Amino acid sequence: MIALGLFNYWAVIVLMMVGFYTLIARGNLVKKLIGLNIFQTSVILMYVSFGKVEGGTAPILIEAAEHGAEAAEPILYSNPIPHVLMLTAIVVGVATLALGLSLVVRIKEAFGTVEEDEIQSASL
């Protein structure tokens, strides 16, 4: 039961390993980048699941609560900070991916291939 209760971490670990494996094992540079992106996305999922509070709603200020009107019970929010952090991490991830892809385009122009082994033999 404990293992099932932590299923979000299982999902994160599986995604992380899928991404990491792709990153290491694939010789195609584009596939490597895809692996990197899956790897980074798993971390985003990890953070977002940290922020979830059981029974909590999305951390958006609700008007009724803001004006002190009849909120029958205090509203339980999920923790917004991990979301904010991941917004930044997503931007960093996008920037990395864009830079990586532009490198791949230029590698393709310079070497005529995006396969790692062919590049290696071409640059000797």
Residues at the contact surface with other proteins, assessed by CB under 8 A? 20, 23, 29, 32-33, 36, 39-40, 43, 46-47, 50, 58, 60-61, 81-82, 85, 87-89, 91-92, 95-96, 98-111, 119, 123
Residues 6+ apart with CB under 8 A from 59: 77, 78, 79, 80, 83
The residue type at 18: V
Count the helices and strands in the chain (H runs, E runs).
6, 0
Q: Which residues pair with 28 in a beta bridge?
A: 115
Measured from the CB of residue 110, what is the shortest distance to other proteins in angstroms?
Answer: 4
Structure tokens at 92: 């960093």
Which of 69/123 has CB closer to other proteins? 123
Measured from the CB of residue 73, what is the shortest distance to other proteins in angstroms?
Answer: 22
Measured from the CB of residue 70, what is the shortest distance to other proteins in angstroms?
Answer: 21
3 state SS of 77? strand
Structure tokens at 39: 């790897």
Which of 76/92 has CB closer to other proteins? 92
Measured from the CB of residue 54, what is the shortest distance to other proteins in angstroms?
Answer: 15
